[in-house]
Amino acid sequence: MAVKYFGTDGIRGPVGTYPITAEFVLKLGWAAGVVFSEAQGGTILIGKDTRISGYLFESALEAGLASAGVNTVMLGPMPTPAVAYLTRAVSAQAGIVISASHNPYADNGIKFFSGDGRKLPDSVEAEIERLIDVPMTTVASQYLGKAERMTDAVGRYVEFCKNTFPKSLSLKGFKLVVDCAHGATYKVAPSVFRELGATVITMGCSPDGLNINEGVGATDPAALAERVVLEGADLGIALDGDGDRLVMVDDSGVVVDGDELLLVIALYRQSKAELKGGVVGTLMSNLGLEVALRDHNIDFVRSAVGDRHVLSDLIKRDWALGGEGSGHILCLDQTTTGDGVVSALQVLVAIVDSGRTLRQLVNVMDKYPQTMINVKDVAPGAMESDDVVNAVAEVEQTLGSEGRVLLRPSGTEPVLRVMVEGRHAEQVQRLAEDLANVVGSVPH
């Protein structure tokens, strides 16, 4: 059954525009409650990021779940991976996160975790969607769900994160700038790094409901890069609005993306004989990552774009490490989903234990120039047209073994993404522009 509302990462869109409305989220809560409830019972956790509409949708979800006879535990502002962890920790039926991740405050979304802290199987999403389209009912009054608040959620998650960092190591002597994007990690992330011994300078830790991801965080690390240099810090840590992405900045102010961080973790674990299997990237992962891993005899495979696809491939292969250049990094030996704080700690383990700087650890990767152009108003079937197929073949022949071409429809915008990657930036830019022109000129 094809899903109608769920995208690659839950349901997301502008607040007040269907389906991100109070009426729909009420019905969604009820439908999820019916699917997850055990006989007149069950508990579901609800967490949110810091955007102002979280209050609205928190109330709507709770009402819908209660009408299905499900108890709710409100976590308040908590990172997405914290909700996944706490769902497992308290044996809840499911966890729900109210967040639009790295999007601006005017958007919001709903995503789910099953009782094991993983994203929902497609079959469960499809069943929730089926129920959204049937009349809503209410259980008898004696079976209505109750709501309570978990008062120690922050402390529980902080301790969990700290336990992914070896007790034999310490962050004493390290000066870190931590940018929380005015998002869900604004309480927990600084606490984790301070309690492990670091001197922490904070940015993006003053959420007002409207400033989430605005000029800060993993999607806009320029201000963090400046601050790291200004403070003479050892490195910077940038998280996104819901805390599942990580980008770092080295001591010279150079931004280090998810592909590079993934390599740092992989090579460190290999050096300790702790790397389980190989590494899963995506179709968008930098070719430099693939080459560096190959040079170190580490297997590498590419999944479709999206961390749920990376997760699926990791589980299928029984591997532990994967991620995306955007900063979604999965360390399945530590937790069940992408977690920016936990991923940062895994990089810091490599830095502390090796005695090398982030810059030194990253320098083993030769990052390939990559250009991506979004082509709008593309004719249906353009990717299969003779002109485009021939143009792609010509670009691939020009690049040879030192480059890649990728055409793919966006999962979030009405565009076709044209990506070219190779050794030489000017050549890559020219080839991408030429190919995008061919794609855009296919007649409708």
**3-state SS record for 82-144:** HHHHHHHHCCCCEEEEECCCCCCCCEEEEEEEECCCCECCHHHHHHHHHHHCCCCCCCCHHHC
Q: Are 267 and 321 in contact (CB under 8 A)?
A: no
Burial profile 66-103: b = 16 or more Cβ within 10 angstroms, e = fewer: bbbbbbbbbbbbbbbbbbbbbbbeeebbbbbbbbbbbb
Alpha-carbon Rg for the chain in angstroms: 22
For the question of residue 101 being annotated catalytic, the response is yes
Residue of 37, 67, 101, 343 with catalytic role: 101
Closest CA to 186 of 208, 163, 164, 159: 208
Q: What would you measure as the largest C-alpha separation in the chain, in angstroms?
A: 71
Residues near 12 by beta carbon (within 8 Å), at least 6 away in sequence? 20, 100, 101, 103, 107, 108, 109, 110
Q: Are 423 and 432 in contact (CB under 8 A)?
A: no
CA distances from 65 to 129, 135, 371 (A): 15, 15, 45
Integer distance in angstroms from the first to the last C-alpha of the chain? 30
Q: Are 30 and 68 in contact (CB under 8 A)?
A: yes
Residue 410, CA atoms < 13 Å, CB-side half-sphere: 15
Residue with tokens 């000066």: 175
Beta strands at 71-77 and 246-249: parallel, antiparallel or unpaired? unpaired
Other beta carbons less than 10 A from residue 437's beta carbon: 13
- The conformational region for residue 275 under phi > 0 = left, psi -120 to 50 = alpha, else beta, is beta
Question: Which residues are catalytically annotated?
Answer: 101
